[in-house]
Each structure stands twice: as structure tokens, then as C-alpha cells.
Structure 1
């Protein structure tokens, strides 16, 4: 127990210092509005309008691209489209969908879930932009391993400013993103995920009096070893595991969620009404509406990462010579993550009424109580799902951080080994620290990535719009023939 307390005490001041900078806010209508959230919302709305609702118009085409067989061996890339999407999803379909939704509802009320879904839909356009650019500006940077691909915001940010004659500024912005991403991967990819997985493990092993109650470090150590076994193999191993684990865990979670919802089928209309009313017509007035909206946007951003640029790193490894096509595939991520899976969690929590018995900010414990209202042993199923969600997120985010670390310090095997060891050590820390500190640090570093990334998206938006128009014109010509 003393180890856990010591780690938490050391971690708290770091979290507070980082958050005070990233979550700068202004007061309006008795609310503290975080400017970083306004930054993300405006970008999502802008790209949706600027690209002519690409998220809606080409949704069907995105699904058809996933079934496309690519037999050309000369196409550049390391993994296929499906594995790229699954790797990206394994980084987003994590505990943001379970604990993040619970946090949103426990703090902002049921209406926060509605705003999460809305943000997910608009975020699809932002995701299209960053994935397209990630593929377009990817590079083969390693002389020792020329087959490896490196891509992501650090590369298209540098190019965006280079094109405008601001080379130094481009290097600074790219470096800033890479630093924030390394911090974000240690937080969102390691700390938060293992923390919530540990909490659920404690619940099913007897709670505060159980075997694991004071052994967070042990749980973290075992998890770190399991993560290390996969990330040593690079993107091919990560993609292979993600391609099998993500569909399995998503289907298991969705079916379990539907089972709980079906058991409370009579409460479905009232639950939907509660979500919509608290989102659009809160009894506490405009301040409550904005509070619900803001917490929903914050949790959605953490859940689907649209605007953060992280998914572009995974999609950059896809086997394709057409960046726009992968961008269209990539925009499925926020829909699956935030609209489908997050809303299932929200419905389970609201229909069961579990959120009414909460005491302040709650994460996975709230979701676990909600699932237990269906069948008493459902929390055990949830525990397995939670661990798989956390595990898949950790292995994907380790890759994001690795690519940013090698961008900063060079494509060197020693850099890779050092980063992977550091990532695994942070997993041990995450299982031992308190939830409040984990959330604060994670949100700060993850959302900080959006500052340089979205600036680059704005600069390169005309370029991607031209590429999209040319791609659609070719599609029409091919269909006509």
C-alpha cells in the first residue's frame, strides 16, 4: 500500500502543472469554458462544411473500401486497410468507451452522452483530413530498416510550413506535436487504461478487502509484461493482434450491452427521452446545457481522438497509393467508436439507473454497476472486455509514441528500446495512481496534441480538398466505364 501512495503523491503535482497550462479557460454564464474544447469543436464543424459533409456523403464508400481486395504487391505500405483501421480503433475503442462515458454521465448528466455522439459524427471529417495527410506525407526514414514507414502529423506539419517558407516554425510545430504525443501515449495509452482495468479487476476479486486491493503495482507489472511481448514485434505484430482482438472485444461488448438493454426494454423510451431532454432542455437552464455539452465534447475527444492526429500515425502504414481513399476509411473510426459503442454504454447506464446512485466522478465502477443490473455475473464479462480494451489501446498507443520518439531522436534501434521500456514502466505507475490524477494528466497531454495538429490541418485543407475532388472524379469515370 505504501508503494501505491508514494507513486500517487509523486504523480499529483505533475498532473496539476500540466493541466493548468493546457486547460486554460474563460468564464461565461457561470461556466469555465476550456478553450481547447472550443478549438476542437470549431475544427470539426469547419472541416465538415468545407469538405461538403464528406462524413455523410462517402460513408457507404468507406465500407466498400474495406472489402476491396488489393493484389498489387508494388503498392507501398506495411499493413492492409482493415488492419490499419483496426490498429487505429484499438487505440480509440478503449476505456474511453466504458469509463469515459461513465465519467461524462456522472459529471455532466445523461445529456453528455448525446453531445459525445454529435461530436463523433462531426469528428469524422477531421479524422478524414488527418488520415489522408498522414498517408500522403509518410516517409521511409530508417536506413537500417528501409521497409518501415513513419507518418503522422509531425511529417505533414513540417511540410505544411516548409511549403510556405517557414522551415524553422515547421520544425518547432512538428517537434511540439511529437513531444505532446509522447506524453499523451504515456497517459492515454498507458496510465489511464491500466488504471481502469485494475479498478474493474479489484471489483470482481472482492473489492477493498480482496487480494488485488493494495497490489496495483503487481497488476501493472503483469500487464506491462503482456504489452511488452507484443510491441517488441513492431507494427506487424500490433496490427495482427489488433485485427483479431478488436472485432472480438467489440462484438462481445455490444452483445452484452444489448442483453442488458433488452432486460430493461420497457425503460428504453424513457431513457432516450432523458438523454435528449437533459442534452437539449435541461431543467437547470442554459448553464447546465453548456456544462453537459462541454463534458461530452471532452470525453468524445479523448475517446475517438479526432483532431489529435494520433490515428494518422497508424493509417500511414496502410498499403495504398491513394491517400484520400485511406482517409475515407479512417473516418469510420469515430463513428464506430463514439456513435455506436459509446451510445451502447450510455444506454446501459441510463436505462439501469445506476448513475443515480453515484457519488461524484466515477469511471468503470459505474459501468460495472449498470451491467450488474442485467445479470449478476456480467461484471466478470465486463472485466475481461475492459482488460482487452485497455490492452489493445496500450499496444497501439505505444506505436504512436514510438514513432514520435524516433522522429525526435532519430530512427535508431536504441531509441526504440528505450521508449518501449519507458512505456511499460508507465503502465506499472498507472495501476498505482489515483483516478483523478490519471484523468488530469491524460486529458492534458492528449488534448495538447490538437494545437499544432489542427493548425496544420487548416493550412493543408485546400490541398486535401483538391485531392478529394480529383479522387471522386476518377471514381465517377471508373463507374461510368
Structure 2
């Protein structure tokens, strides 16, 4: 009997102890404003044995934190709470959406997640060719704030762009190097025949395409690449820029070759046309039509997002930071910017080119000049900087993802910045006055050189030479670049405002042309079609200046990157005829058949 009582006592005591040691979790869920990504979840835990460990599903929240912030509204987050005795409980929470922009952002999140799995899929990891976990020099696994392993990724879109660039470089016999001198002569107008068909000069086509690529990516994107990949990313960024020159040559040659000129002399060209008409010559007309439509849809989406809303949004943010009186006046800023952009794009490619051929040289000289001031102010550090770049490229710290991680950061930034292989630039170059498609292709190879090898490299050198790659001070993107310049040029933040506004403005006017030509390809060419697109484009400028951008912008950026898939596939089909045209062009140039006019 006593044994039964003892057993009953032990069982009852264990039950009561277990019951009283269970967690009692009270939560406070806060949506701080109508802006996106400012949700907060705070927990008050009682019961169990302190201290508690909090494993949040978002990797940026530390294991010791009882609250998580900067959360996306409408997304489910989980937290597993563990006490000192190993007792666990899991809770799930959602910060409810409370504004239109939060609802829109929440709608796009699953779409972005789906596209991310496609565009940023890592084929090498999926095939078991490498371990994507990042380790330090002692082979210890590096952890995120929430305790999960840090990993690196080799996105399929970057692989596609880089392999395409390498193939075209070899296929075209290193046209990126041997065509440079002739490209300068063409831009100077030495071979301009006044009777050639087209709407703009070689120089204007170059500046129009450059204005779409030289932008915030050169300022913010490079800073992120250096912060994440270290100085070594600069080397691989330059290599990718040089290789990208060959991709740009092929797509812009084809852009002119397959362009259409109407009875009024107005030109329509780009990937839509060489994918449709070019592939038809190789018994792949059905595939060509599908790729052309896909490209046009992606280009329109990219023109409204990365080529429009993002530019307006970032220009307003920087302007508001420097001039407090502009705060909370996003819609007004958007209206003014839309009027300025509208005044330019209403006149078509000729009007756009007349603006970009002045803005692009000015802003490039302005930015590069400021960079040179900073570099020469630290002249004694130049040798050290280049040593850091080369050492980081081949002997990189494992904490940065090793050599592969640094290489990917450099290649990724170059690919995103100069858009070589994406195909967009061929739409602008198709409007050039020339009867020789190859000549315009040779002109276009200067774009990645200027955009990536010169301007992006200048940004990287400034960040490294001022030591901002070591201590970012919690800054990122534009702010990091501004701080690096400001350490030598106190008034640079104001100069940066001017540069960013010009970058954003010129990018928008060029992308409006890309989007319009894609729109007309799908919906036909008419005044109604033209003005419908332009009005929608201007409305998106106001929206971009007025609301926070999250998943909507991610979606648009992915559309721009996705343009590379149909475009490069078409370029591979057509590379043989481009090589033949290139050989013929240089043979005629050597024989004197192609005349100089200056």
C-alpha cells in the first residue's frame, strides 16, 4: 500500500511540476506605420527556467532577443522559445496589414518567392558540386543572428550571363579588346554617312543606352558588393565588365540588323525583332515568337519598376534626407518629376537622345572627377588598395564566402549594373544612323567599359581607399558611398543629390523608350498605344515617389534579370551570323570599302 502511495505521490508531483513549468507567453504585435516592413513582435515569457533562447524564423533577429522588428506585414513568423532546461514551445504570429501599400506588398511576396527560386536557383549546389555553407579560417561554420548557418549562392541568372559573355568573347575573337580603337573612331563620327537610315547618331545611341545603365547601381550596388564581398569583389567586377562588352556587341549588332523602319523613318528594334525574325531563319520561328513576346512582357514590367519607380523612390529619399523641407512631400516631388520626364519622352527617341547626350557626359565627368579628388587625396594608399583588391580576389577571407563568394559578388554587381546580355540596350542602338549593323555593335561595347570598368570601379576605389570597407558604420548602399566621399569632400552629400537626381532622371527617360517599343510590339503602333503607355509610365513615377517599395520592386527587378534568359538563348542561335558579319565588316574596313567621312 505504501509503495502505491509513493508512486502516486511521485506521479502527481511530476505532473504538477511539469504543469507549472510550462511557458506562459504574452505577445504585443505592432504595426508602426502605413509603410512596409516596420512590423514588430514583442514577447513577455514566464514559467520555465531562465535564461530563455528565442529562435526566430527571420535570420536577422538574435537568439537572445525577446522581440523581432522590421518585419513584413502579412507574413507569418515563428519563434521557438527554449528555457535553460531545454523545455520548448513554438508560437506563430502575423503582423496584420493596415494600408494599401502593405496589402500590395503582401500580394507580391509569394510571386517574388516563386521567381526567386527560378532566377536565383543555384545549379551547382543542387547538383552537389560544392558546399554552400560559409566557414571561417578555422573551418567553424559562421552563423546568422538567429543561429542558422550562413550560406552563399551562385544564381543561375549570373551563371547564364557570365557563361554567355565568355562564349561571345571567344566566338567573336575578343572583339571587346580588338574593337576598342575603332569604337572610339565611330563615336567621334569619323564613319558617319549623312544618308544612312536611323534617328540618332552613334554617340547619342551610346549615351541613351548608357543613361539607362549608369545610375544608382553604380553608387549603391557597388557599395553593397564591397560590404558583402570585400575589396576582392572589385577585381571580378572589372573582369565581368570586360567580358560583358562582347555580349553587348552581339545583341546591339542584331538590334540594328533586324530593326524595322516605317514610312516616316521611325525605327523599332531590339530583341523582340531579332528573336522573332532571326530564329525563323533557323527553323525555330515558333520558339522565336514565344521568346519575343516573353521578352516584351518582361521589358514592360522592368520599365515600370526598376526603370521608373525605383529611380523616383531613391531620388526622393536622398533629396528628403538632405533637404528636410521635402519630407512628406513625395507626391509633389513625383508630380514635378513626372512633368520633367514627360516633357522629354513626349518627343520620342530624338528628344530623349538630345537630353541624354548632354546629361550622361556631364554626370559621368562630375562623378568620376569627385572620385579622383578622393583617390588623389589618399595617393599614398593606392598601392595598398590594389594589393587588397588582388589579394581579396584570390585569397579571400572565408567569412566573405571564400573566393567563390567574392567572385559571385563581383560578377553579380557587374551583370546587374551594365545589363550586358539583358538585351535592353539594343532597343536604343537600333535607332542609330548606320547601314552597318556591326559598327553599332562595336560602339555599344563601350557601355560596360564606361559603366562597370570605369564608374563602378571608381566607386569601389573610393570606398576602399577611405577605409569604409572595413568599418561600414552600419551604413549600406548610397549612404556608405556618400560617407566615403564625405570623409574627404565635406560637401559631397549635396553633390551626390545632384548626381542621383540626374542618374534617376536619365534612367527613366531611357527606360520609357525601352518599355514603349516593347508595348508597341505587343499592342501595335498607334498614337493611342503610344500615349497610353506614356501616361501609365508617368503615373508610376508619382507612385514610386509616394509609397514604400518592397516586393513590388523585387518583382520588377527580377523581370529585368529574367530578360537575359530569352535574349541570350536567341543570341546563341544567331552568333554564327554575327561572327560572319563581323569578319566581313573588318575585311571591308581594311580594304577601304567602308569609307571615312571625317
Unpaired segments of 5 or more residues in structure 1? Answer: none
Moved more, 156-165 or 389-398: 156-165
Equivalent residue for 2:188, pick from 59, 67, 75: 67
Alpha-carbon distance in 2 for matches of 1:155, 1:115: 33
Q: Secondary structure at the match of 2:153?
A: strand
- Structure-2 change in CA distance of 1:76 and 1:450 (3 Å): same
Q: TM-score, normalised by structure 2?
A: 0.75
The equivalent of 1:24 in structure 2 is 121
- For residues 100-115 of structure 1, what are the structure 2 equivalents within 5 Å? 100-115=221-236
Q: CA-to-partner distance for each residue in 1:247-296, whole Å, 9 max, x for gaps? A: 11110111111111122222222222222222221121793322222222
Equivalent residue for 2:319, pick from 201, 204, 210: 201
Contact residue 99 and residue 196 of structure 1 kept, 8 A: no
Q: Does 1:83 align with 2:204?
A: yes
The equivalent of 1:152 in structure 2 is 270
- For residues 61-460 of structure 1, what are the structure 2 equivalents within 5 Å? 61-69=182-190, 72-141=193-262, 146-205=264-323, 210-284=324-398, 287-358=401-472, 362-434=476-548, 437=551, 440-460=554-574
Q: Which structure shows the bigger proportion of residues in strand conformation?
A: 2
Q: Secondary structure at the match of 1:211?
A: helix
- Structure-2 change in CA distance of 1:462 and 1:400 (3 Å): same
Q: CA-to-partner distance for each residue in 1:319-368, whole Å, 9 max, x for gaps? A: 00000011001100100110001111111111112243436682211111
The equivalent of 2:17 in structure 1 is none
Q: CA deviation at 1:68?
A: 2.5
Contact residue 106 and residue 361 of structure 1 kept, 8 A: no
Q: Secondary structure at the match of 1:431?
A: helix
Q: Does 1:42 align with 2:136?
A: no
Q: CA deviation at 1:442?
A: 4.1
Q: CA deviation at 1:439?
A: 5.9
Q: CA-to-partner distance for each residue in 1:401-421, whole Å, 9 max, x for gaps? A: 100000011011111111112
Q: CA-to-partner distance for each residue in 1:299-319, whole Å, 9 max, x for gaps? A: 211211100000100000000
Alpha-carbon distance in 1 for matches of 2:594, 2:311: 48
Alpha-carbon distance in 1 for matches of 2:546, 2:383: 41
Moved more, 282-291 or 295-304: 282-291
Q: CA deviation at 1:56?
A: 0.5
Alpha-carbon distance in 2 for matches of 1:415, 1:355: 48
Higher relative CO (Cα under 8 Å, sequence separation at least 6) belongs to 1
Alpha-carbon distance in 2 for matches of 1:44, 1:454: 9
Contact residue 168 and residue 246 of structure 2 kept, 8 A: yes
Contact residue 430 and residue 438 of structure 1 kept, 8 A: no
- Bigger Rg, structure 1 or 2: 2
Moved more, 442-451 or 9-18: 9-18
Q: CA-to-partner distance for each residue in 1:165-214, whole Å, 9 max, x for gaps? A: 33322211100001111111122211222232223213312xxxx33344
Alpha-carbon distance in 1 for matches of 2:358, 2:594: 37
Q: CA-to-partner distance for each residue in 1:42-94, whole Å, 9 max, x for gaps? A: 00000001111010011111111112346644311001111111111111111
The equivalent of 2:173 in structure 1 is 52
Contact residue 302 and residue 443 of structure 1 kept, 8 A: no
Contact residue 120 and residue 154 of structure 2 kept, 8 A: no
Q: Which structure shows the bigger proportion of residues in helix conformation?
A: 1
Contact residue 112 and residue 295 of structure 1 kept, 8 A: yes
Q: Secondary structure at the match of 2:352?
A: helix
Aligned length: 474
Unpaired segments of 5 or more residues in structure 2? Answer: 1-31, 37-98, 133-151
Alpha-carbon distance in 1 for matches of 2:510, 2:475: 27
Q: CA deviation at 1:24?
A: 2.5
Alpha-carbon distance in 1 for matches of 2:191, 2:233: 41
Contact residue 368 and residue 379 of structure 1 kept, 8 A: yes
- Structure-2 change in CA distance of 1:15 and 1:78 (3 Å): farther
Q: CA-to-partner distance for each residue in 1:1-50, whole Å, 9 max, x for gaps? A: 96655464223542652342432334342132211111001000000011
